[in-house]
Copies of this chain bind each other. A is one copy, B any other.
Amino acid sequence: MNLDNIIRRISGKGSGLYKKDFLLTWEKSDEELEMVLEVAAALKELRENNISCRLFDSGLAISNFRDKSTRTRFSFASASNLLGLAVQDLDEEKSQISHGETVRETANMISFLSDFIGIRDDMYLGEGNKYMREVAEALDEGFSEGVLPVRPGIVNLQCDMDHPTQSMSDLMHLQNEFGSLENLKGKKIVMSWAYSPSYGKPLSVPQGIIALMSRYGMDIELAYPEGYDLIPEVVDLAKENSTKSGGSFNISHSMKDAMKDADIVYPKSWAPYKIMEQRTQLLKNFDKPGLGELEKLCLANNAEHKDWEFNEETLNVTKNKNALYMHCLPADISGVSCKEGEVNADVFEKYRIKTYIEAGYKPYIIASMMLTNRFEKPAEVIEYLMKYGAKRVF
């Protein structure tokens, strides 16, 4: 049983993840990220063998979505339920919450009997991750002052900087597709911009991908039309990671050239970070006409790059004409979800089931982030669940 191998590998290991929020992959050590993968794999196997993973008899997991979501919402709900927690939505339309001072108060008010808070806040550049840290500070204070019996852990469900539950699921997918993290060494992965008729797509996925994958000795190719830059700090970080891990990092401005001999491709639209900065400013000023003009400008800019579609022709220049296509979903599929989009319909169809499998790791990644936050010795916990062997379903 694979579980025994996992236990052997992580046995006795403590974990720097204990009592730490999961906000950015680049704040975590390699050992910590591997622990998240191992525990996620263990939970997946336990679940698939009908063994209960309920470590909590009761307790709340708060979901705080400041942007629409189906996938991540359900992944968070699934992860919470897997461990025995009930999800309570902090729906800001229903509640009295707002920005600023009240963050501190609300963070405590929702946490009296809570074990985790999952936050998605990706609308404002420079704001989402900051907000999570404000919540974190408020919880630290509440716990140290005796307001909260437990310091709830925070899981970043997507912010302006990173989308760690996505990139870690993607990494788990690669690990399974290529056999091991080791095997990723020397593989070429292309994180490429792709055309989309919609505007203002967040930067967190491409940033999360280059920042994480650069740690595993891969050859990272970041491709986008001139002007569609990511946040410079994250790009610099990815470059450093590549140097350290023995991989390489290159930026280019032609999708087709970039795709040459790629093992893995991740074509996905995003908005230039400078536009996102302007947008954030306009949003803060409630400048509706300004936002309208910016949107028009952006869509016009995008429209000049309709050739950035991943299709048969582009696929054919990849390794063996058969690179692994990845996407966080939903993709803008030409002729299906839009007239012209990120990916050709036939090519997407070829990899469709693989993208579902890719997405399917997310509940386990989130549950693993929770488990490793809460339990100091994950191996002992997994072993207990195995030995106790309570059935999930009669």
Contacts and interface: CB of A to CB of B under 8 A. Distances in A.
Given A105-B356, A149-B48, A77 B60 contact: yes
B102 A337 contact: yes
A109 interface: yes
Contacts of A330: 96, 102, 105
B57 A391 contact: yes
8 contacts: A52-B57, A52-B58, A54-B58, A58-B84, A68-B94, A68-B96, A145-B356, A147-B357
A333 B101 contact: yes
A70 interface: yes
A359 B104 CA distance: 14
A289 interface: no
A363 B115 CA distance: 15
Interface string A62-92: 0001001111011101100110101110100
A74 B63 CA distance: 12
Interface of A: 47-48, 52-60, 65, 68-71, 73-75, 77-78, 81-82, 84, 86-88, 90, 94-97, 101-102, 105-106, 108-110, 112-115, 141-142, 145-149, 329-330, 333, 336-337, 353, 356-357, 359-360, 362-363, 374-375, 381, 384, 390-394
B70 A109 contact: yes
Nearest to A138: B356
A58 B82 contact: yes
Contacts of A60: 74, 77-78, 81
A54 B57 contact: yes
Nearest to A359: B109
B57 A142 contact: no
Contacts of A106: 70
A86 B90 contact: no
Nearest to A108: B356
A112 B68 contact: no
A70 B103 CA distance: 12
A394 B147 CA distance: 23
A142 B355 CA distance: 11
A101 B114 CA distance: 38
A53 B48 contact: no
A363 B105 contact: no
B113 A82 contact: yes
Closest 7 CB pairs of A and B: A70-B95, A78-B113, A55-B394, A147-B356, A52-B57, A77-B88, A145-B353
Given A78-B113, A112-B363, A70 B57 contact: no
Nearest to A75: B112
B329 A109 contact: yes
Contact of A394 (B75, B88, B381): B381
Contacts of A59: 81, 392-393
A356 B393 contact: no
A68 B98 CA distance: 13
Given A57-B393, A77-B60, A393-B57, A90 B113 contact: no
